[in-house]
Structure 1
């Protein structure tokens, strides 16, 4: 052995530098890394070597190969270490007592388990590192190797890995480590390399393969094996979109982030924190069972230094990150797994079983469980599989690429369990009546024994049968237990009701086929009873959304959708309300389609249940921007009601409320107003003027008046609604805050900018306190606040960064193309145009105009008015002729759609007169300006900012025509009014004094 002498910092001699080979099985890589790091810190050289000799290789030869390197060999031991191969206990004892004992000076060991090792390992004198702190572990390691702590010790290391016994700061529901996990080391190393070799930005790796190939087990093993490399490890079940969003959003409170309870705002906060690496830069997020690549843009954390691992059957993830194809087991992995789980079988027998089931990991787990638990000879097992005793079923769709003999093997399991553990089989049948994936089986524990069928009453009793049945299913690899643990405060009983298991999709399909017996409906009835009685709470309460996300996928499998029980109907309708309130519009529409197909067979078209389903449907359709579909459905529902001999007036009111909303979104403002006014009258007569539904109708009446441009009347209605809501619902209720927003918007549109700003500033503070900073309603309030600041602010007030940040938050909550987001896109584009960023302004305004046109069509006030914004942009770019064409088109269109006196029409007229002036059509410009001023005074008032802008524009046109006396008189009058109403330093006043031509920004609003 070659040794080197080191010197201490004061020049004195230090200990000799030595070389060590750290040999470890793959799953102990974190320990090998830590050992190497500590030895290197004391001045020694270390080579780490993953050691997993082939079963056919002699142990003596394999251990001898380790001695070819200079230095001592340190073996990282656990009880798992001696199953490498796998090999018989006698073979290990022989080589330890022989070859290792003869070379005892070259071998040393550390022990990482509290379980007993083979007696012959005493020759290695393993030092126990299990369950001790890092400082003591380092002391024991050095003492075992006869090393003194180096005086020049440095903690500078090449890897940031943490001490393996120290848990990550955040550990989120990663499945329990599979102690029988076999092989896959090359795959795991490839995953690690793909994640760590990315130069910048969050690395993404997708494990892709067929069902049952072992993707989830591989991801879980990666999380456990490499956990010391991360401070945050978070597992997200992604087979259902709602569950995925809720689970990913739960990382926000786990990281200590300030956010509300809605998934959208939590996800935004999480993505932002991961991107910034604050509070932790070393993070791993695992999305298990994620098939929808299109959702990646809105969900994946990007730009940070962390890692994302995805399991999926979809090869489309190649467009997002690196894809690692997960194959079946190598034959050595299959046989190794079988022999560890069933030690009585030979290598040759294991090879036969692996060949029978094509090395498919899920089937290897099942076959190994049967062979291991029953101690059945392989010849007998295969004979039963091949025999005609148990005929495979005809429907093989759930098996996919699995061999047909798999069904026979599973049939053997059911027959055996039916005799030996009948209650485990009953529990399995119950699980099969839930949807595959995560199954909240513990909910059954909350049902009173008397409410359960006789064969299931044992579940609710306080007996050991429940954990025994669960353990039986887990031992046979039928289910895996959820890692979620109840809190101490919830108590043992509450905790058992929160227990859940996970059943693989393939296993679930097989179980359903092989347990399709006469008592299936009994079990489905129990599951329905459990779900209906789970009482998830009010769907508008975001604290209840995780419970709804858990229940939603269970509704169809359990038969809840086929029940006419009023409680079941209400659960379905509440789940649709949850979909709307949480922003899960796509999920909601998917559920609607299934519910409608089922309910069409249960209820008449005009039944209350179907009408309520239509109301829930159209709310989601409107929120999704599908306004025409919503109108058609609401019209059909209203026709069904009116065809009844004595239609219920409250149901008529509900149906007309939806129709009125549709008409507003479709731009049919006069019709919407007439209908909404009638609804307010009906509500006051039937329910009273202060009732919740009446006030909701009155609030919508204010919206209709605002869209008609009748801002003063809208403010009167909204102010009355606000006062009543403050009295009935109190000041901090979300509906009251809606009215606060409405009143502030009215004041701004009336030109009372400072009043609007004062009210909206207080309103936003209250929104944040009550609803959270990122609630959709808070975002709406913040949007209005930005516009109030822009209108009321003095010259030079830069709100650009605020608008950019608000737009980013809008996109995270609503999505890029959502109509609520398009309003802010337009307002920000208008702001950027004024401040000189014409390129980005064009991108935003064009995007908004095109999307609005796709949503509502050509003949709608909003896309028509958007032409005026594009005209202002073209004018700023120097294209005066093109701008004038758009101004004139917008003016003509809005005159046709809204009339000559609507404020939107007047704004387009103001821009058109400016375009005519710049194009030299001075007489036409003055004529239009004079007509616009007259109409603005009548529609808005003499001192409204729009009116004063029209007056200033007319003065400019008259001056261009050399009519200076009238121009000066109009200009002086406008300046006096602007100074009196807005102040001498307001931007409008300053612009008028400097004779800057006024313009009008169109602010889109769908209602």
Structure 2
């Protein structure tokens, strides 16, 4: 069977059909060199035995290419003379060469699979077997697209050559070890990487049940697009991008519901964070990139320029009037680089200009020329001049196409949501551009012209398979084309068009960045802010768009992108805006939020402190601005471990909000919630719990139960119950809180993960079975790491809790690794004197003590006790816990009188601070009894132990692990829960 590489999928299906009927088939990809005689090339096919089936469409006769007359002569002569050896099928409804009739091709166009197979067998005069032969696997009928086909660019009907390269890519992916089948197409801009990847997806589509295309020029769009696959897979997830991506990667890894999948990441140049996005499993990944660092992540294929035969074949097909010699001269001029060749071929084909005249204009630069593009890549200077020629022609023949093209340069390169123009016709467009919103035929003609000249390619945006309206239309503009056209556009036009684009972007602002359903739109708008000049706009509506994009970055966890955008906005606004203007203050608030969320607490505090100084020095007071800034400072102080300062400042903020706004306004409710956080950090658990209950009730009344901040208050109330030792009550309350988080925010939203971490600790403290708690904690740690990274403070907190759990249940080796990692992480993040870094020493001591390193453990406990006593005071619950552990170490190291003294004092403080029935107080009582027994004071020891056991039974239950341990006279301990608020 003889076929052009373009029809590989049809050839595979035809071979499958014939072999099921018991006929041996050999596939022959055919593209004979133009220099060889066509009769000789066809004659070579006759050297094989059996019949020769030609897979035809109009493309088949353009191979080479060869003049139609040559084909007609050979068909009427040589092929007709050997008609019994040749047969053909036809895959198109377009007319073929007249002489093709000698082959009597059977048309498979538009047929069902069953009808196509029937016609194929009929043309070859083969009888259908009653029971077809069983073959391994199944080849999909090419007209039946795979189950999920996600925004793969339209197939380029003019795709030329690259057959060997495509087969090499296919073989590399097929031969790769399962779980690591990733191949990167590497090369400079304009070399044809995207076209190659798109052709691969189409040509080998029958190998896959799922093909998904991910535009990766921009990180936010990349994450959003990959997350959209979760919806197509029907995964039960929420709207947060990280959550969707994790669900997608897990489904692909498991091969559920599809084992055979292909993901294409187009334009992925930034390799930071690759491991969190790159899927693994039984499928294949194809990446296009300019970054050579991809060699560390799998197979790399260097995409070369066209072969000269490919260059000339492409040129002669697009411009049939030129000769092979002229095509060779043009290919030489442009260095066989595909992108400029495409533009040259489009120009020559559309204009009909003679090649000598075209090359003269290019070489002499007789039209306007431009400098090298900003990318600095090795791009032929001659191609830049050729763009001048094209644009000059369009200015005369189709000026509206120039309007569209110039407008595109005010967006970022890559995907451009041009449909915004028609979606928001009331936007303040310049007079010369208003036709775009009102004249659909002119709009369509302009786009068709640019597509025909290979300047733009059309894309769609929306549900797979859905029909798109003009307002949803997107186009793709290559970065080099964008760069070149920008240089050839007048400054006056750029200024007007940028103003129009940023107005359109502002109109497209969903206005609610807290709603995860709007996040895909914000991800789409984000790349175009800077090119449109939005960063330097003095329009309030555009400035609000910028702030909403930053709020989206905070909510969705895109902190790095957000902080980079903040830097650029601040630089622009500083040129024309007062530092104390409200937009600048709002900018500072969002920057502070992102700095804290990413663990840069000192930077956040310094930023807010500087803003507060400016506000206080201003001639006109801004009371609300000061309250917002001081609230942010209080949050930073809490994270920095300055708990008393944070509490005092937070009280002032709450009082100010109540006075200025009232008790039930959202900022006041936030201030009240944050005061509860500060009280917990100070160890004032009962006060925090009562305040959190009040905040929860107010939020349920004002904002309703499913609001994100109401859910957060529910989490805070549970935390308070657990810290008060009411473990069973905490567990009963937290289970519905987590269910509501999952329903509203999705299981992988950052706040949901915090709620699930709280639930895991409730189950652990309540005494649930370790086989229930352990696996859920391991899974949750993996999800936190994927969301935040291993060194983020929230991940470190759960590393700590999981390490303590493993130590408690006998996995001492892994526990030591996790606790050591968390301690080092906190020390690096917070400094060694921070209360949390100091408290971690107690966890390290517990691991050492369990390993029999008693002297080393005592040193850790004593250091933690001394450090926390100095910073938090002697009655803070964290200090009491450290004292409990230190007394234990003194006992184990033979310092019995010192142990008795410390245990007695710790019990008195615990009774005052936590009350006599708190589990920590009861543990201190049991510990004192153990020390008294070691000191041979049996009577007092017995009485304390009896009362302690009774209290534990009454508080926790007779079968709780703490009660059982006390009954067995196992020394109680306290593990430190790292908590930053």
Q: Distance in 1 between matches of 2:766 and 2:872?
A: 28
Do 2:460 and 2:472's aligned partners in 1 also have CA atoms closer than 8 Å? no
- Which of 223, 226, 229 is residue 201 of structure 2 equivalent to? 223
1:717-767, Cα deviation, whole Å (9 max, x unpaired) = 101111111111122222111111100100000001111111111211222
Do 1:702 and 1:718's aligned partners in 2 also have CA atoms closer than 8 Å? yes
Q: Distance in 2 between matches of 1:882 and 1:861?
A: 21
Do 1:790 and 1:797's aligned partners in 2 also have CA atoms closer than 8 Å? no
Do 1:540 and 1:577's aligned partners in 2 also have CA atoms closer than 8 Å? yes
Q: Distance in 2 between matches of 1:897 and 1:485?
A: 56
1:752-797, Cα deviation, whole Å (9 max, x unpaired) = 1111111111211222222222222111111111111111125656
Match of 2:317, SS? helix
Q: Distance in 1 between matches of 2:770 and 2:27?
A: 63
Q: Distance in 2 between matches of 1:318 and 1:205?
A: 9
Q: Distance in 1 between matches of 2:462 and 2:508?
A: 19
1:6-48, Cα deviation, whole Å (9 max, x unpaired) = xxxxxxxxxxxxxxxx111111111111111121111111111
Give the equivalent residue in structure 1 for 2:287. Answer: 310
Give the equivalent residue in structure 2 for 1:869. Answer: 843
Give the equivalent residue in structure 2 for 1:115. Answer: 94
Gaps of 5+ in 1: 1-21
Q: Distance in 2 between matches of 1:400 and 1:292?
A: 17
Give the equivalent residue in structure 2 for 1:542. Answer: 516
State the TM-score, normalized to the length of structure 2. Answer: 0.98
- Confirm whether residue 330 of structure 1 aligns to residue 307 of structure 2: yes
Give the equivalent residue in structure 1 for 2:212. Answer: 234
Q: Distance in 1 between matches of 2:206 and 2:107?
A: 20
Do 1:284 and 1:306's aligned partners in 2 also have CA atoms closer than 8 Å? yes
- Which of 185, 190, 196 is residue 168 of structure 2 equivalent to? 190
Q: Distance in 2 between matches of 1:1002 and 1:775?
A: 26
Question: Residues 347 and 195 from structure 1, CA distance in 2 versus in 1: closer, same or farther, beyond 3 angstroms?
Answer: same
- Confirm whether residue 247 of structure 1 aligns to residue 247 of structure 2: no
Q: Distance in 1 between matches of 2:318 and 2:787?
A: 48
C-alpha deviation, 1:82, in angstroms = 0.8
Q: Distance in 2 between matches of 1:64 and 1:134?
A: 32
Question: Residues 498 and 609 from structure 1, CA distance in 2 versus in 1: closer, same or farther, beyond 3 angstroms?
Answer: same
Do 1:794 and 1:987's aligned partners in 2 also have CA atoms closer than 8 Å? no
Give the equivalent residue in structure 1 for 2:318. Answer: 341
Do 1:234 and 1:285's aligned partners in 2 also have CA atoms closer than 8 Å? yes
Question: Residues 399 and 964 from structure 1, CA distance in 2 versus in 1: closer, same or farther, beyond 3 angstroms?
Answer: closer
Q: Distance in 2 between matches of 1:797 and 1:154?
A: 51
C-alpha deviation, 1:243, in angstroms = 0.4
Match of 1:397, SS? coil
Q: 5 Å matches for 1:34-73? A: 34-73=13-52
Give the equivalent residue in structure 2 for 1:382. Answer: 359
- Which of 746, 750, 764 is residue 724 of structure 2 equivalent to? 750
1:196-240, Cα deviation, whole Å (9 max, x unpaired) = 112321410000000110000000000010111001100000011
1:156-177, Cα deviation, whole Å (9 max, x unpaired) = 23x5432211111001101110
Q: Distance in 2 between matches of 1:416 and 1:399?
A: 27
State the TM-score, normalized to the length of structure 1. Answer: 0.96
Do 1:657 and 1:697's aligned partners in 2 also have CA atoms closer than 8 Å? yes
C-alpha deviation, 1:489, in angstroms = 9.0
Give the equivalent residue in structure 2 for 1:564. Answer: 538
- Which of 599, 606, 610 is residue 584 of structure 2 equivalent to? 610
Give the equivalent residue in structure 2 for 1:510. Answer: 484
Question: Residues 796 and 275 from structure 1, CA distance in 2 versus in 1: closer, same or farther, beyond 3 angstroms?
Answer: closer
Match of 1:441, SS? coil
Q: 5 Å matches for 1:660-675? A: 660-675=634-649
Q: Distance in 2 between matches of 1:741 and 1:271?
A: 29
- Confirm whether residue 257 of structure 1 aligns to residue 235 of structure 2: yes
- Which of 710, 715, 721 is residue 695 of structure 2 equivalent to? 721
Q: Distance in 1 between matches of 2:225 and 2:853?
A: 51
Do 1:449 and 1:458's aligned partners in 2 also have CA atoms closer than 8 Å? no
Do 1:676 and 1:697's aligned partners in 2 also have CA atoms closer than 8 Å? yes
Match of 2:521, SS? helix
Q: 5 Å matches for 1:769-918? A: 769-794=743-768, 798-918=772-892
- Which of 209, 212, 215 is residue 190 of structure 2 equivalent to? 212
Give the equivalent residue in structure 1 for 2:410. Answer: 433
Match of 1:286, SS? strand
Q: Distance in 2 between matches of 1:347 and 1:326?
A: 25
Give the equivalent residue in structure 2 for 1:370. Answer: 347
Question: Residues 332 and 588 from structure 1, CA distance in 2 versus in 1: closer, same or farther, beyond 3 angstroms?
Answer: same
- Confirm whether residue 151 of structure 1 aligns to residue 130 of structure 2: yes
Match of 1:675, SS? helix
Question: Residues 450 and 345 from structure 1, CA distance in 2 versus in 1: closer, same or farther, beyond 3 angstroms?
Answer: same
Of 189-198 and 449-458, deviating more is 449-458
1:373-429, Cα deviation, whole Å (9 max, x unpaired) = 011111111011112412422454346211111111000001100000000001111
Q: 5 Å matches for 1:535-684? A: 535-684=509-658
Q: Distance in 2 between matches of 1:250 and 1:265?
A: 11
1:245-301, Cα deviation, whole Å (9 max, x unpaired) = 000000000111111011111001000000000011110010000012222111011
Give the equivalent residue in structure 2 for 1:5. Answer: none
C-alpha deviation, 1:606, in angstroms = 2.1
Q: 5 Å matches for 1:449-468? A: 451-468=428-445
Do 1:161 and 1:230's aligned partners in 2 also have CA atoms closer than 8 Å? no
Of 791-800 and 132-141, deviating more is 791-800
Q: Distance in 1 between matches of 2:856 and 2:252?
A: 46
Give the equivalent residue in structure 2 for 1:100. Answer: 79
Q: Distance in 2 between matches of 1:320 and 1:810?
A: 23
Match of 1:557, SS? coil
Q: Distance in 2 between matches of 1:732 and 1:239?
A: 36
Do 1:207 and 1:215's aligned partners in 2 also have CA atoms closer than 8 Å? yes
Question: Residues 795 and 156 from structure 1, CA distance in 2 versus in 1: closer, same or farther, beyond 3 angstroms?
Answer: closer
- Confirm whether residue 418 of structure 1 aligns to residue 418 of structure 2: no
C-alpha deviation, 1:613, in angstroms = 1.0
Question: Residues 919 and 179 from structure 1, CA distance in 2 versus in 1: closer, same or farther, beyond 3 angstroms?
Answer: same
C-alpha deviation, 1:889, in angstroms = 1.3
RMSD: 1.5
Match of 2:439, SS? coil
Match of 2:653, SS? helix
Do 1:833 and 1:841's aligned partners in 2 also have CA atoms closer than 8 Å? yes
Do 1:298 and 1:815's aligned partners in 2 also have CA atoms closer than 8 Å? no
Do 1:176 and 1:483's aligned partners in 2 also have CA atoms closer than 8 Å? no
Q: Distance in 1 between matches of 2:139 and 2:791?
A: 42
Give the equivalent residue in structure 2 for 1:88. Answer: 67
Question: Residues 525 and 550 from structure 1, CA distance in 2 versus in 1: closer, same or farther, beyond 3 angstroms?
Answer: same
Of 369-378 and 601-610, deviating more is 601-610
Give the equivalent residue in structure 1 for 2:112. Answer: 133
- Confirm whether residue 74 of structure 1 aligns to residue 18 of structure 2: no
C-alpha deviation, 1:452, in angstroms = 2.6
C-alpha deviation, 1:879, in angstroms = 1.6
Q: Distance in 1 between matches of 2:9 and 2:426?
A: 48
